[in-house]
């Protein structure tokens, strides 16, 4: 079992929902946490909660879909932390609309954030993991990345892309002792799910952010050698 204490993690989209829950779960394991997002006030509130758990906590404000902002933000985090051990690519957006109804700008924005944003952040963090010859990258996809459906073409395309990107990356960097895990949850009672109106958050019917964060922690604790030999870690709701 891997010891997570004193390791350093970067979590994108860490100001709310699954990102916030994951940040708190990792902090409870004794990890220092850096969170990113676009709302500075919310990031500051989460960092305050994290610090109360006795760990170092910082934030960087940037849009993952803007490569220039990503470069500046990740540099800021690494400068403050000095190193990084774990990257959780969680930031994402979603919207409903048929191919004919959805505006081109909205369709492409979802791809820009969910897929290109993951690539941008990974590209900037990866050199530090390679230099250490160790690390973990956890990419959040979705069951929508396994099977498309009407009115979610942009979201499904982005999450299918995440799976392909993750699988390729895993095979590139396992020689560097870096694990790449892909998680594919269905609906989680997150802020985004509430905003889209796809769940009422009933804990008897839908996964809670804290529950999913526990799964991430459990995956990080798995023996490194075993995980490096296999395929990405997949997870779906019961």
Tell me the domains of the chain and their CATH numbers: 8-229 (3.40.50.720)
Residue whose pair of structure tokens reads 């999913």 in the numeric block = 212
pLDDT class of 236 with cuts at 50, 70, 90: very low
Q: Please, which residues bridge with residue 61 across strands?
A: 37
List helix spans (H) across the chain.
17-28, 40-51, 67-81, 104-111, 117-132, 153-173, 191-196, 209-221, 224-229
Burial category of 5 from C-beta neighbours within 10 Å (exposed 0-12, middle 13-18, buried 19 and up): exposed
Percentage of the chain with pLDDT > 70? 84
Length of the chain: 238
Partners of residue 35 on adjacent β-strands: 11, 59
pLDDT of 165 > 80? The answer is yes
**Residue 9 DSSP code:** E
- Contact criterion met (CB below 8 Å) for 224 and 174: no
Task: Exactly one of 59, 67, 119, 155 is catalytic; name it.
Answer: 155
Please calculate the CA angle 13-159-219 and round it to the nearest 5 degrees. 65
Q: How large is the average pLDDT for residues 28-52?
A: 98
The mean pLDDT value for 192-216 works out to 67
What gap in Å lies between CA 72 and CA 131, rounded to an integer?
A: 20
Over 80: is that where the pLDDT of 200 sits? no
For residues 161 and 139, the answer to whether their CB atoms sit within 8 Å is: no
Q: pLDDT > 90: what percent of the chain?
A: 72
Local structure of 93: helix, strand or coil: coil
Judge whether residue 234 has pLDDT over 60.
no
pTM exceeding 0.85: yes
Residue 67 annotated as catalytic: no
3-class DSSP state of 103: coil
* pLDDT given at position 186: 65
pLDDT of residue 55: 98
CA distances to 28, 52, 56, 91 from 83, in Å: 20, 22, 13, 21
Segment (H or E) for 90: none
pLDDT in tens, 181-190: 999 876 665 5
Provide the pLDDT for residue 230: 38
* φ and ψ at residue 128, rounded to 5 degrees: -75, -35
Q: In terms of Cα–Cα distance, which of 37, 125, 16 is closest to 81?
A: 125
Q: Is the pLDDT of residue 232 over 50?
A: no
pLDDT band with cut points at 50, 70 and 90 for residue 226: low
Helix/strand/coil for 125 = helix
| Between residues 149 and 109, the one the model is more confident about | 109
pLDDT in tens, 57-93: 999 999 999 999 999 999 999 999 999 999 999 999 9
User: How buried is 197 (Cβ within 10 angstroms: 0-12 exposed, 13-18 middle, 19+ buried)?
Assistant: exposed
């Amino acid at each position: 079992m891997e010891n997570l204490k004193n390791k350093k993690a970067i979590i994108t989209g860490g100001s709310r929902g699954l990102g916030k829950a994951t940040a708190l779960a990792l902090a409870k394991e004794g990890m220092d946490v850096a969170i990113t997002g676009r709302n500075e006030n919310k990031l500051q509130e989460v960092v305050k909660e994290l610090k109360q758990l006795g760990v170092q906590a910082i934030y960087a404000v940037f849009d993952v879909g803007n490569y220039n902002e990503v470069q500046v933000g990740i540099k800021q985090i690494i400068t403050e932390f000095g190193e990084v051990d774990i990257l959780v690519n969680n930031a994402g957006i979603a919207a409903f609309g048929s191919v004919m109804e959805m505006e081109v700008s909205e369709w492409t924005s979802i791809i820009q954030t969910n897929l290109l944003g993951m690539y941008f952040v990974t590209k900037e963090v990866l050199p530090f993991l390679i230099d250490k010859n160790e690390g973990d990258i956890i990419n959040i996809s979705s069951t929508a990345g396994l099977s498309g459906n009407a009115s979610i073409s942009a979201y499904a395309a982005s999450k299918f892309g995440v799976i392909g990107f993750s699988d390729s990356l895993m095979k590139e960097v396992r020689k560097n002792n870096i694990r790449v895990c892909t998680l594919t949850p269905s609906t989680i009672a997150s802020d985004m799910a509430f905003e889209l109106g796809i769940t009422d958050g009933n804990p008897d019917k839908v996964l809670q952010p804290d529950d999913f964060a526990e799964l991430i922690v459990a995956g990080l604790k798995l023996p490194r050698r075993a995980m490096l030999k296999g395929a990405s870690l997949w997870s779906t709701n019961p």
